[in-house]
Amino acid sequence: MVQDSGSDGIRRGPLFAVRGSVLHFPSDPGGGSDPGPGTDCFEDGLLVVERGHVQRIGPAAPLLAALPPGTPVVDHSGCLVMPGFVDTHVHHAQTDVIASGGSTLLEWLERHTFPVERGFADPSVARATSAFFLDELARNGTTTALVFGTVHRASIDALFEEADARNLRLVAGKAMMDRNCPEDLRDTPQSAYDESRALIERWHGSGRLGYAISPRFACTSSDAQLTLAGRLARECPDVLVQGHVAENVDEVAWAMSLFPQARSYLDVYERFGLLRNSVYAHCIHLDAEDRRRMAALRAAAAFCPTSNLFLGSGLFDLAAADAAGVQVGMATDVGAGTSFSMLRTLAEAYKVVRMTGRQLSARRAFHLATMGGARALGLDDRIGSFLPGREADFVVLDPAATAIGARRDARARTLEERLFALMILGDDRNVRQTYVMGVPMLAGR
Ligand code: GUN
Ligand code: ZN
């Protein structure tokens, strides 16, 4: 029985295999430059996929011998085959805002972001941008994303419909924002609650889709809106919450002036019941108590290095997050982020960590970009690794796809060195193929 011929034209049955350097990062190797275990790698390896799920991984020779005769084997020898990337914070509607510079957060929102988001009132704009955005994720090896939408309900319908058509695992939500933003981008406490609820009922748990309750940030939501958002989070305990926190010093001061009773900016969210089971972007200007609260309530931090550097927001303190036990995922945060590429994002993360005097090993970086993100989203029982039964979302990376990459890769003596050079030099050119539940997404490769 032919399951799917995919865009590479290879006829795969319900059972097929991929040969290459097969590796995954199921446990966190910890900080520092001398990573402990946490990586399983089979240099000449095989990933066996059955009905869109991982059946097993291991050394090629014995696994090939054990396959039923005639099982298709896709040869990606020379490439790395690893779980697809998880982008834990990205704005699909800001695809066309990317590379709009010259300002810090609050001015950037007013000058560049809100005008583009206004266009998403038109569902045809929302649909066309969603299609481009999702294809761009696949081109970069990202197979799961937590997407921060615009205020418009129909734009989230369009995003989910396009993700569903590609069978992509996606979590997304409609932005809630009822003050301190342009009039025509405001909802109300009740409409935000009602529309979010309707979107949850329609999409949450449908196929590979999930919903996230999405108050934009404390500065653009009234007390009444945050109260209703918190009620919705209580009513739907398996639905994620996402937002922004402690990105920029002016933003922190503004949030504190709007909520003077709060102990800290992060505390605003906790007071409204919006911290449990959440993912907050940036988390730069936090204190030790904030990090303790995040760890206690399973609130994850989305580390957005290209965005934080681009807007001059500050340096995420990965060591402090680790010490407090805060779950961390990697995020592009396009359009303040400057690339859809998780490889480029890891390169900037490495530099941010160096600026704080610490080290980020390549193994740890790839762990954060795969399993770390899956954990942040509460999806590590389905994605993020090649443990048996996981959904077969994976990326095939060719370290030698560029001339300089080929030269550097030829000199790499260890897996860590190979991964390190790939993350520092890599981008979308290194993505040879992206598979979603065992189906290749990139035509002509
Ligand atoms: N804070 C509130 N909204 C946004 C946004 O769209 N991007 C970033 N980087 N920060 C925000
Ligand atoms: Zn953001």
Distances (CA, A) of 149 to 161, 214, 301: 14, 8, 18
Is residue 363 a contact partner of residue 346, using CB atoms and an 8 Å limit? no
**Ligand 1 and 117: CB distance under 6 A:** no
Is the CB of residue 310 below 6 angstroms from any atom belonging to ligand 1?
A: no
pLDDT at position 1 is 35
Query: Which amino acid type is present at position 23?
Result: L
Where exactly are the structural domains of the chain?
A: 2-84+385-440, 85-340
Give the whole-angstrom CA distance, residue 53 versus residue 3.
13
Q: Is 307 in the pocket of ligand 1 (CB under 6 A)?
A: yes
Residue 128 has pLDDT above 60, yes or no: yes
pLDDT at position 3 over 70: no
With cut-offs at 50, 70 and 90, classify the pLDDT of residue 33: low
Residues 8-20, mean pLDDT to the nearest whole number: 80
CATH, domain range 2-84+385-440: 2.30.40.10
**DSSP structure class, residue 417:** H
Ligand 1 within 6 A of CB of 169: no
Mutate to test the pocket of ligand 1, among 117, 216, 269, 280 (most ligand atoms within 8 A of CB): 216
**If you measure from the C-alpha of residue 443 to the centroid of ligand 2, how many angstroms do you get, rounded to a whole number?**
30
Cβ partners under 8 Å of residue 35, min gap 6 = 29, 361, 363, 364, 416
Indicate which residue's Cα is closest to atom 5 of ligand 1: 109
The total number of residues shown for the chain amounts to 445
Q: Give 170's DSSP letter.
A: E
Average of pLDDT values for 426-443? Answer: 98
User: How many angstroms separate the CA atoms of 127 and 262, rounded?
Assistant: 39
How far, in Å, from the CA of 376 to the mean position of ligand 2? 16
Helix (H) or strand (E) holding 41: strand 40-50
Q: Using the 8-state DSSP alphabet, how is residue 204 labeled?
A: T
Q: Which amino acid is at 121?
A: A
> Is residue 247 in contact with ligand 1, taking CB distance under 6 Å?
yes
Mean predicted confidence (pLDDT) in 167-188:
98
Q: Answer yes or no: is the C-beta of 333 below 6 A from any ligand 1 atom.
A: yes
**Gap from CA of 71 to ligand 1 centroid (Å):** 48
Q: Which atom of ligand 1 is nearest to the CA of 219?
A: 2
- The pTM assigned to this predicted structure is 0.96
Ligand nearest to the CA of 279: 2
pLDDT at 430 over 70: yes
Q: Quick one: average pLDDT of 212-231? A: 98
Q: Which one-letter DSSP state was computed for residue 391?
A: B
- Triad 273, 275, 276: Cα angle to 5°: 90
**Is 85-340 CATH 3.30.365.10?**
no
In ligand 1, the atom with minimum distance to the C-alpha of 244 is 1
Sign of dihedral through CA atoms 130, 131, 132, 135? positive
pLDDT in tens, 402-421: 999 999 999 999 999 999 99
Q: Say how far apart CA 106 and CA 294 lie, in whole Å.
A: 25
- 380-405 pLDDT, tens digit per residue, is 999 999 999 999 999 999 999 999 99
Tell me which residue has its CA closest to atom 11 in ligand 1: 244
Mean pLDDT of 285-311: 98
pLDDT band at residue 12 using 50, 70 and 90 as cut-offs: low
Average pLDDT of the chain?
A: 95
Query: Residue holding tokens 């097929």?
Result: 16
